[in-house]
Structure 1
Amino acid sequence: GIGVEAGLASVADAERLVRLDHGSQVLRILIEISEQELDEAFAVSDGIAAVLDRAGMRRAILLHGSDATVWPFVHRAAERHWSTRVGLEDGKALPDGTTASGNAALTAAAVAIFRAGR
């Protein structure tokens, strides 16, 4: 009765998940990539999404970035109607590069990005 979130950091992780007997029981998929070079980070996240799509694994996806990828991933999540999360543990800068006063400011910025995409 406990929902399982599968954390994927690579295309190999996604390939392993779709081969698992119980992979279809996953409630949500977390794509959390350590690469900080944006093109590489997008390539990995897109590769993971492609593996899941080819396998027909339709689950809620949470795309989570850190430091250099926080805001680009928030934008990507909004574009793809995925979930995301932000907080000081991910990065302290707001989208304009200024330092956030706290988690509430980061969250408000992420909400504004999602609302702008509607």
Structure 2
Amino acid sequence: VNLSEPDAPAVMELLRQRGVGIEAGLAVVADAERFVALPGHNQVLRILIEIDIPDLSAALDEAHGIAAVLERAGVGRPILLHGVDTTVWPLVELAHRQRWSTRVGLEDGKTLADGRTAKDNAVIVAAAVAIFRGAPVVAS
């Protein structure tokens, strides 16, 4: 449930009442602030930090800002971080450093960290796995 949506709290409550697990989607600091103000915010299954800001510096600032809001509120739920296009790989690296999860695929970006076009999802996923394993990324 994306917290940027006006009805997000009501949708989350309906899902909670029905026993449906919730992934809270946070795109900007204001979403994180709204999320931590909700009763039961620590009951979500996972937090998705989904940054859709093309400027890398601004995207990193937003991700760090969201994380700071969550940390101040004592939120202890798993986090999945991902970016789009130019921010995919820097945010994969940030997720690795923070020990968060990530996701990658052609939906998020079509290039590898070195700028080459990926031939398929498998190559993109392999590159992300290599980052998480600390291994050099093999060209394909």
Same fold (TM over 0.5): yes
Partner Cα separation in structure 1 for residue 63 and residue 31 of structure 2? 11
TM-score by length of 2: 0.81
The residue number in structure 1 matching 2:129 is: 111
In structure 1, the residue corresponding to 2:62 is in which secondary structure? Answer: helix
1:26 to 44, 47, 64: 44
1:45 to 59, 63, 68: 63
Partner Cα separation in structure 1 for residue 113 and residue 96 of structure 2? 14
TM-score by length of 1: 0.96
Q: Could you list the structure 1 runs, at least 4 aligned residues long, displaced by more than 3 angstroms after superposition.
A: none
Partner Cα separation in structure 2 for residue 93 and residue 16 of structure 1? 33
Once the two structures are superposed, what CA deviation does each residue of 1:21-76 show, in whole Å capped at 9, x if it has no partner? Answer: 12121110000111111110011110000000000001100001100100000000
* 1:85 and 2:85 correspond: no
Shift of 1:95: 1.2
Partner Cα separation in structure 2 for residue 24 and residue 89 of structure 1? 29
Q: Which has the higher contact order (CA 8 A, sep 6+)?
A: 1
Instruction: Give the length in aligned residue pairs.
Output: 117
Q: Which runs of 5+ in 2 are unaligned?
A: 1-18, 136-140
Say which one has the larger Rg.
2
Partner Cα separation in structure 2 for residue 21 and residue 115 of structure 1? 37
Partner Cα separation in structure 2 for residue 50 and residue 96 of structure 1? 30
Partner Cα separation in structure 1 for residue 118 and residue 51 of structure 2? 22
The residue number in structure 2 matching 1:17 is: 35
Partner Cα separation in structure 2 for residue 56 and residue 36 of structure 1? 29
Q: Which runs of 5+ in 1 are unaligned?
A: none
Q: CA RMSD in A?
A: 1.0
In structure 2, the residue corresponding to 1:100 is in which secondary structure? Answer: coil
The code of the aligned residue for 2:98 comes to R
